[in-house]
Amino acid sequence: MGGEPGAGKSRLLAQLAADLRSQVATVLTGTCPSTLASPYEPFVAPVAAMRTAIADGALALAAPSPDANALVRTVALLDTVAGERPAGRASRRDLLDAVVTSVRSAAAVEPLVLLLDDVHWAGETAWELLSYLVEQTTDLRLLLVATQRTTATDRTDRLVHHVAGLCRLDGVRRIDLPPLATDDVEEYLLKEAGLPATLARTVAPDLRDRTGGNAYFVRELVQTLGARGPVGFVHPAGRAPPSVQDAVEARLGMLSPGARATVELAAVIGDVVDADLLVGTGGIPPEETLGHLDAAFDAHLLEPGDDTPTAVRFRHAIAREIVLGATPSARRAALHLRVARALEARGGRSAAHVARVAHHFEAAHVLGYRPEAARYLRLAADLAAEGLAHDEAADLYERAAVVEDDRARADDVTLLAARERMLTGAFVRSRALAEPIADDATSAHQLRAAVLFEDANWRTNLVAGRSADLLRAALDSAGDQDEELQVRALAGLGRALAFDGEDDQARFLVEHAVERARELGGDDLLRDALVASLVLGSAVTDADVKLGRAAELTELCLQTHDLWRLGPAASFRTLLGYQRGDAAILRAGLTDLRQAAEGTHQPYFGYLAGCVDFSRHVAAGRLARAAQVSEALVEIGAAVELDEHVGSDGQYGVQQFVLRRESGDLEAARGALSDEDDLGERWVPGLLALYTELGMHDAARRALWWLLESGAADPSPGTRAGVLTILSDAAVALGDVDAGRLVRAALAPYTGLNLMFGSLVSAMGSADRYLGSLDALLGAGEWETDFARAEAMDRRMGAHLHVAHTLAAHAMAHFTTGVDGCDVGAIAAEARRIATPIGSLRVLRMLDVVDGVRARRADGLTEREVEVLRLVAEGLSNREVARALVISENTAANHVRSILLKTGCENRTRAARYAADQGLLA
């Protein structure tokens, strides 16, 4: 439910709560304060209420088979959400599921109503919980109403994104409260102000215009005018304040200096004010403070709170904002300090309490309380991190760094923020926080920062030169750094060098790091070193070692419930499973990857799992399902913060190219291409792939050699294998032996493996299929053996589309080389049988060319006659054919007569149709 401030959202929630409680429904309410609060606000109060009922036995736990352990575990998880204890070994998913379980438990007793106010101030963690709760409770007797401001200052891009995501879920409706109409204002004047009907009808249009129909503004001005009786409405000009701000400030001016000071102190404390805190902080006798409160009630500035007898609140958040704005900044800072000290003296370790203390010390830091502000902000961040609220923890650490005077401590908390950013998938922001410290030789945390930078960097598949430079410099100046940190640095440096193609040195460093980690005996350190080791090597001989390390890492992660490192272990197992053609390994890795994604609610792992799904569907020939997954990945990928040139848009582009190439739907791209495209302005492998598929041979040859000669054909490991498939297809299509020889050498280390783009962004099939086509082009090697290995792997995986491509490439190799040795017709027929139901027009077009070659050879056409036939099909006369081929017109005529005789065509028109039918025009 949306509306501008003062539209009546909170009033409507209050009335809704009262009405529904009277109709036998459980009503739980929560709100988000405008200041620092627990990361799970506005759910803290509702969750605390359900937690107490479950712990006391008043509310039975709705679980499949609830036992004592389930009860204790659920209560502990709810305590974490309420900010009362760390998550421990629980995952983010565990916390979310505990809230869902408690809601299910309450809704099983009687209808449940959750009323959540001011969610525009909620953090990322609370929005995630809100979305998850809505998704998981569509079958319950549950009404959930959340309110948000829709005005510019509060309507951020983040809020719009979250609300849009919610509105796409089943059962969600959006209501925006419109301004009051003139008739509404008139009704209010009759019922609330007690005006006579004639006067109400006269005054309502002017009041509507002056307030814009804002419900709160109407109420405030009516009360101001009504204090003077009916004459206040009859002659408002010059006597009534022109705005609500003026009205509130006028009411402040009516108070005694002491009462005004109490109201200002209340505004500093917050939206809802504990009267005990107000009394204890005011520095005056309690009875005097209570008298000030009575005066504020009479002035319509404050009113009693709904839930707690000792609580008071401002009649509206707007009123509090106006009071704060009217309070001089120096006085505000001093009041914040008094509140901070009072809260600090009370003690408390809950996330909500620490956040309040941090907020007030931060607001008072200009008075010389920077150390206190930094300390409490860091403590609040620690509690948020312990509660797995990584976004909020990162924000708090960054705020602590701003007010921290000590350089070493500031760098320390900045790196804690970088770690939390990485845990949310914000890899670019994580690197940006770590890089200045990693680049500063005077920082006590230089090496740690360099390690963090590399850890955030490698996940984006970037060329890692910057990571390697920072790590080398930091290691050189590290001195007597912690040995575990040095091991992590060596492992990271090795991984960075692997991404830069320095394989030998990378292998030495990473293997040394793994060995030292085992010697030092820290499981956490060993897991980090094993993660780094998974990027080493891409040849068949490396696969067994990498798979063994991935399996070891998986076991360690499952034992310790380390889902963050389980993610890369599982991801590499899916990659290795596909590379080796082992469907069982791929499926097992995907299961663990989904567990990591679900447990951490980390979109990065969800994106990787989605890419694996896409590739499995493509390989199996489920193109429609693959297209659905690719579209879904756009939204998931938007939540992962990557560099622009390696982001989800580029990966989506690769996936769409693969799908459209199979479906024969690339023709629309022809208009955006030319033979003179600037190769420095685009991703040249993508251009080359389009040129090749569209038969733009001159442009393809230029792009192919540009890549081979510039060295751009050897990109980062994440795209190297995929680019090689594009180069291979181009060299074969162009019949370019020199290019084929270079590409073949680059592909050789992949013998026996499947190839892919990125982390299975798209599956490209067996390297042996491409090697077979290249060997056939080169007239060297055992290309029959290449195709046999490729086909065996394809069939072992159940990759039907891969099988069709391998069979089609095999058949094409026979007809382009003229080499016999197998039943090519049977190979082509099986490829057609597989490709037809899949809808792979790409394979079918290859087969059409093969069948055309077969027919041509069966009819005995020579290569020169094929050339002549193509020109005839283009409509050229004998004279024009002779000129094009630099032969005599008589020779051209003889060729045409021979063609007509061999093909049985009675005229040139039928010959042209024959050429088209047999695929001779390509």
| Residue 134 · residue 144 · CB < 8 Å | yes
Pick the CATH number of 859-917 from 3.40.50.720, 1.20.58.1610, 3.30.70.580, 1.10.10.10: 1.10.10.10
In this structure, what token pair is assigned to residue 222? 């009516």
Comparing CA positions, the residue from 415, 499, 498 lying closest to residue 462 is: 499
CA 845 to chain centre: 38
In this structure, what token pair is assigned to residue 900? 């007509």
Reduced to 3 states (helix: H, G, I; strand: E, B; else coil), residue 175 is coil
Residues above pLDDT 90, as percent of the chain: 58
CB-based contacts of 317, cutoff 8 Å, min separation 6:
5, 34, 118, 271
Supply the pLDDT for residue 240.
40
Residue 215 has pLDDT above 60, yes or no: yes
Q: Count Cβ atoms within 10 A of the Cβ of residue 332 and give its class: 0-12 exposed, 13-18 middle, 19 or more buried.
A: middle
Residue 230 has pLDDT above 80, yes or no: no
Supply the pLDDT for residue 601.
87
pTM, two decimal places = 0.83
pLDDT in tens, 245-295: 777 888 888 899 999 999 999 999 988 898 889 998 988 999 999 999 999
| Residue 762 · residue 615 · CB < 8 Å | yes
Supply the pLDDT for residue 824.
80
DSSP string spanning 365-419?
GGGT-HHHHHHHHHHHHHHHHHTT-HHHHHHHHHHHHHH--SHHHHHHHHHHHHH
Q: Are strands 2-3 and 26-31 parallel, antiparallel or unpaired?
A: unpaired
| Residue 514 · residue 502 · CB < 8 Å | no
pLDDT in tens, 481-526: 789 999 999 999 999 998 887 888 999 999 999 999 999 988 899 9
H helical segments located in 581-714: 583-600, 603-620, 623-638, 648-663, 684-693, 697-710
**One-letter amino acid of 905:** C
In this structure, what token pair is assigned to residue 109? 């007793």
Q: Once rounded to an integer, what is the mean pLDDT over residues 236-242? A: 44
Q: Once rounded to an integer, what is the mean pLDDT over residues 564-585? A: 93
Supply the pLDDT for residue 800.
96
- 80-94, 555-569, 676-690: range with lowest mean pLDDT: 676-690
| Residue 166 · residue 131 · CB < 8 Å | yes
| Residue 180 · residue 161 · CB < 8 Å | no
Rounded Cα–Cα distance for residues 602 and 564 (Å): 9
| Residue 688 · residue 700 · CB < 8 Å | yes
Q: To the nearest whole number, what is the mean pLDDT of the chain?
A: 88
Rounded Cα–Cα distance for residues 453 and 789 (Å): 41
DSSP string spanning 22-47?
TTT-EEEEEE--SS---TTTTSHHHH
Supply the pLDDT for residue 858.
53
Distance in angstroms between the alpha carbons of the first and the last residue of the chain: 61
Supply the pLDDT for residue 853.
59
Supply the pLDDT for residue 319.
84
Supply the pLDDT for residue 193.
82
Supply the pLDDT for residue 462.
59
Confidence of residue 463 (pLDDT cuts 50, 70, 90): low
pLDDT in tens, 614-667: 999 999 999 999 999 999 998 888 878 766 555 556 788 889 999 999 998 888
Supply the pLDDT for residue 239.
39
What's the angle, vertex CA 588, arms to CA 651 and CA 125, rounded to 5? 60
Supply the pLDDT for residue 237.
43
CATH topology identical between 255-327 and 859-917: yes
- Please tell me whether the peptide bond between 42 and the residue prior to it is cis, using omega within 30 degrees of 0: yes
CATH architecture group of domain 2-167: 3-Layer(aba) Sandwich (3.40)
| Residue 450 · residue 490 · CB < 8 Å | no
Domain ranges across the chain: 2-167, 182-249, 255-327, 541-592, 602-663, 666-781, 799-852, 859-917
**One-letter amino acid of 812:** M
Pick the CATH number of 255-327 from 3.30.2010, 3.40.1000, 1.10.3470, 1.10.10: 1.10.10
